[in-house]
Amino acid sequence: MSAMLSVQGVHTFYGHIEALRGIDLEVRKGEIVALIGSNGAGKSTLLMTICGTPQAAKGRVVFDGRDITKVPTHEIMRSGIAQAPEGRRIFPRMTVLENLQMGASSAPPEHFAEDLERALAIFPILKERQGQRGGTLSGGEQQMLAIARALMSRPRLLLLDEPSLGLAPMTVRRIFQVIRDINRQGVTIFLVEQNAYHALRLAHRAYVMVTGTIGMTGTGAELLANREVRAAYLEGGVTEEVVAGGAP
């Protein structure tokens, strides 16, 4: 399998702070790849660097064989990448429908009706909320809108930054189900998550990020079984899941 996205020796700075210190990873066509790591490790920075905002100071980002390291953000996003970013970033004073229209900015207009129908079929609640302002949606609804908005551009690669953050367990399960479905329809997914248990179960492969570097990599199952990973990122989550599932 060929790499759809390849990050090679990437360094990113905020002023003097070096947030990424030489990141190497790749995402292959059709995969779900998860990225886990503690707060401040640099996960969101990596997703943003892939999108060129901020740009990498050193190293290369290659998407579909093309070096996009220095390509302006809006052009990157028009070449088949979409991101549902941390904090959701819904346009608060635009309606749900307008937010979705914004998501379709880089798609041919003749696809809009069809894409809208598909997005609303995935998240029926958004259909009822079409005329409501984004800023008045609940957190879960905003997350669904953020994912739907990202899908409106028909991405080949979807970057998701903590889609489960702050959501009720039922909504979390629903979101992960949706991610799996989207992937089955042919969208490659690169997923950043705090909820390591769900993420590793879902992902084909995963990376663990530690203060700006990649600490570990393997299949989702391998990392789930790994003692260090369990100790650092899972104990709380697993216990919760066990309790919720009513296990022994």
Partner 1 sequence: MAYFLQQLINGLSLGAIFGLIAIGYTMVYGIIGMINFAHGDIFMVGGFIAIIAFMVLGLLGITWVPLALLVMLAVAVAFTALYGWALERVAYRPLRNSGRLAPLISAIGMSIFLQNYVQLLQGARNKALGTPPISGGITLMDSAGFSVQLSYMQIIIIVSTVLLMAGFTYLINTTTLGRNQRACEQDMRMARLLGVDVDRTIALTFVMGASLAAVAGMVWLLYYGIIDFYVGFLAGIKAFTAAVLGGIGSLPGAMLGGLLIGLIEVFWSAYFSAEYKDVAAFGILVLVLVFRPTGLLGKPEVEKV
Give residues in contact with ligand ATP (CB under 6 A). 14, 17, 19, 37, 39-45, 86, 194
Type of residue at 111: H
Q: What mask of x and - would describe binding to partner 1 in positions 160 to 199, judged by CB under 8 A?
A: ----------------------------------------
The site partner of 41 among partner 1, Mg ion, ligand ATP, none (C-beta below 5 to 8 Å per kind) is ligand ATP
Structural tokens at position 174: 């629903």
Q: Which residues pair with 217 in a beta bridge?
A: 207
CA distances from 90 to 27, 117, 134, 164 (A): 27, 19, 6, 16
Residue from the set 3, 62, 102, 238 that interacts with partner 1 by CB under 8 A: 102
* Residue number, 34 or 77, with CB nearest to partner 1: 77
Q: What is the DSSP letter of 89?
A: -
Map tokens 């028909």 to a residue: 154
- Packed helices 169-184 and 112-122: angle between N→C axes, nearest 10 degrees: 140
Rg (CA), the chain: 18
Q: Which of 146, 141, 118 is nearest to 128 (CA)?
A: 141
Q: Is 9 in the site for partner 1 (CB under 8 A)?
A: no
- Closest distance between Mg ion and the C-beta of residue 36, in Å? 11
Q: Which stretch binds partner 1 (CB under 8 A): 4-12, 14-22, 72-80, 167-175?
A: 72-80
Q: What is the DSSP letter of 39?
A: T
Handedness of CA 70, 73, 77, 83 (dihedral sign): positive
Geometric angle at alpha carbon 211, from 32 and 224, rounded to 5°:
40
- Closest distance between Mg ion and the C-beta of residue 124, in Å? 29
Residue from the set 77, 151, 203, 229 that interacts with partner 1 by CB under 8 A: 77
Q: Is 55 in the site for partner 1 (CB under 8 A)?
A: no
Q: Which stretch binds partner 1 (CB under 8 A): 20-28, 101-109, 185-193, 195-203?
A: 101-109
Residues 81-110 that bind Mg ion (CB under 5 A): 86
CA distances from 161 to 64, 111, 197 (A): 21, 26, 15
Upstream peptide bond of 248 is cis (omega within 30 degrees of 0): no
* Residue number, 104 or 146, with CB nearest to ligand ATP: 146
- Closest distance between partner 1 and the C-beta of residue 113, in Å? 15
Q: Is 44 in the site for Mg ion (CB under 5 A)?
A: yes
Residue from the set 78, 111, 154, 201 that interacts with partner 1 by CB under 8 A: 78
Q: Which stretch binds partner 1 (CB under 8 A): 19-27, 83-91, 123-131, 167-175?
A: 83-91
Q: Which residues contact 196 (CB under 8 A, 6 or more apart)?
A: 36, 229, 233, 234, 237
- Residue numbers at the binding site for partner 1 (CB under 8 A): 51, 53, 73-74, 77-78, 82-83, 85, 87, 89-94, 98, 101-103, 105-106, 133, 135-136, 149, 153
